[in-house]
Amino acid sequence: MKVDSINFLSNRENIQKISVEDFKKGIFTIETDTIPYRFLEPKETFLKKRYPLVIAFHNSSRIGNDNEKQLEHLTKTWLTPDIRATYPCYVLAPQFNERSSNYSKSEEGFLESRPSQQAKLVLSLIKELQKRYPNIDDTKIYLIGYSMGASTAQNLMAMAPKEFRALVSIAAVPDLSNLKAFKRKPILLIHGQMDLENPYEGSVTQFERLKGNKRLILKTYDYLNHATITIPFLSGDEIPKWLFKH
């Protein structure tokens, strides 16, 4: 664990130094609601080529409207030179000024998540970006997130499964409201057994209820908790490599 902690701090420090200038600022407004967002384009684009869109949701500590804090370390990994060169794509990082996913206890006693109204607005933002960037590949829109952001990613998949190709969920409180939405999707659930904030049992329950899905993976880290579960993903390309297989 000491080695992991050292690697974690080193990786965070290296990623912290990366300039976020290429993540352009935008504001999406629909009626009376506004969502600040950052948007990263591929390093270079070709007219006849289409590119995936990755939507990265932030955790609850990044709530606000400064259009800065949502670029957490996992999101910034898409700026590293190797990943940008190997996995060209668009990356959308919206910021919420309230919780994007709310938790409540199910009748069985475990936590479940439900989307906020702001989270639902992301569906409209995606449509707007598809109009503006016609070479977004609408068959390859990926959802990723950590903590509250992972729950939000699951919420959107549950609401509009036809819009999204695959999902990476790190330390989420699961959304079990529409299991059919997840039945055939490529889904990577990542959780630490030591997680007491968003309990590991939630991902286990979700995995068991989706056992018929042969594209579903539950990756367990028995020695990591809620704060340390991002350690393995701040270096290397495991997440983009898995996404781009689909």
pLDDT at 2: 44
DSSP string, 92-117: EEE--SS-SEEEEE-TTSSEEEEE-H
Question: From CA 12, how far away is CA 75, in angstroms rounded?
Answer: 12
pLDDT band of 6, cuts 50, 70, 90: low
pLDDT band of 17, cuts 50, 70, 90: confident
On the question of pLDDT at 11 being above 80, the answer is no
Structure token digits, residue 193: 């057994």
Question: What domains lie within the chain, and their CATH numbers?
Answer: 2-244 (3.40.50.1820)
Which residues touch 109 (CB under 8 Å, ≥6 apart)?
none
pTM of the model: 0.93
pLDDT band of 14, cuts 50, 70, 90: confident
pLDDT band of 1, cuts 50, 70, 90: very low
On the question of pLDDT at 42 being above 70, the answer is yes
DSSP string, 180-212: GGGTTS-EEEEEETT-TTTTHHHHHHHHHHTTT
On the question of pLDDT at 119 being above 80, the answer is yes
pLDDT, one tens digit per residue, over 45-89 is 888 899 999 999 999 999 999 999 999 999 999 999 999 999 999
pLDDT at 8: 65
pLDDT at 3: 44
The pLDDT of 147-159, averaged and rounded, is 98
Burial annotation 206-216 (CB, 10 A radius, 16+ → b, else e): bbeebeebeeb
**Percent of the chain predicted with pLDDT > 70:** 96
3-class secondary-structure state, position 66: coil
On the question of pLDDT at 218 being above 60, the answer is yes
